[in-house]
Amino acid sequence: MYAFDWSSIPGALPFLWRGMKVTFEITVTAIAVGIAWGTVLAILRLSGNRALSWFAASYVNAFRSIPLVMVLLWFFLLVPAALERLFDIPRHEDTRLMSAMVAFALFEAAYYSEIIRAGIQSVSRGQASAALALGMTYAQAMRHVILPQAFRNMIPLLLTQGVILFQDTSLVYVSLLADFFGVATKVGDRDGRMVELLLFAGAVYFVISYVVSTLVRSLQRRLAT
């Protein structure tokens, strides 16, 4: 019988908290940039311009057909080299956090754009007609009439995707970046208490994800009424 020993966790909490801050930072940036870029992609996809629509569709299909962990690895390897070449940033500078945020944002944008596209299409065509008939341009109709209604319909789905993203950020362990999961494994390794640390980390991910999901569900019920 394995003897559990949780004693290394209390002392490690400050490190774990620092890791959690990195995790939140990646999650929030990826959600914000992902939704913004995803909105642009969705609008391009629906624009009726064949070239723009093709670009957006290809982007979405490409990112949805590649495993996330591979995208992350490419970015860890490519972005530092690119930064070095373009901006003369020396290679030993730590760009792992930056490249993780860029990779997640670009990857998540593909998923967000599909949610947003469905949201835009859920607003009836008559709304766009009414906006255009009042003399608004396509862009004004989108901004003032279509998107506000689309986002209202989509909020639960966007948040749910955010919860998935929050869990997926643990994949940055491939770059040895000290996010919450990364710190947990480092502490476990240092103290020879990997099982305890992994269980603890899992419990933390579970509690945060479960609480947010529950909040989303109750929000969904309130929006539905």
Partner 1 sequence: MISIRNVSKHYGKFQALKDCSTEVAKGEVIVVCGPSGSGKSTLIKCVNGLETFQQGEIVVDGTSVADRRTNLPKLRSRVGMVFQHFELFPHMSITENLVLAQAKVLGRGRDEAVAKGMKLLDRVGLRSQADKFPGQLSGGQQQRVAIARALAMDPICMLFDEPTSALDPEMINEVLDVMVELAREGMTMMCVTHEMGFARKVAHRVVFMDRGEIVEDAQKDEFFDRPRSERAQQFLSKILHH
DSSP code of 93? S
* x-marked contacts with partner 1 along 151-170 as a string, rule CB under 8 A: -x------------------
Burial (Cβ within 10 Å: 0-12, 13-18, ≥19) of residue 26: buried
- Would you say 152 or 190 has its CB closer to partner 1? 152
CB of 125 to partner 1, least distance (A): 10
Tell me the site size for partner 1, rule CB under 8 A. Answer: 18
Terminal-to-terminal C-alpha distance of the chain: 53
- Say which residue the tokens 């040895």 belong to: 176
Among 76, 24, 74, which Cα is nearest to 181's? 24
- Would you say 130 or 207 has its CB closer to partner 1? 130
CB of 160 to partner 1, least distance (A): 22
* x-marked contacts with partner 1 along 74-113 as a string, rule CB under 8 A: ----------------------------------------
Among 109, 121, 120, 103, which Cα is nearest to 61's? 109
Q: Are 108 and 34 in contact (CB under 8 A)?
A: yes
* x-marked contacts with partner 1 along 112-151 as a string, rule CB under 8 A: ------------x-xx-xxxxxxxxx--x---xx--xx--
Q: From the CB of residue 53, how many other CB atoms can be counted at a distance below 10 Å? A: 14
| Interface positions with partner 1 (CB under 8 A) | 124, 126-127, 129-137, 140, 144-145, 148-149, 152
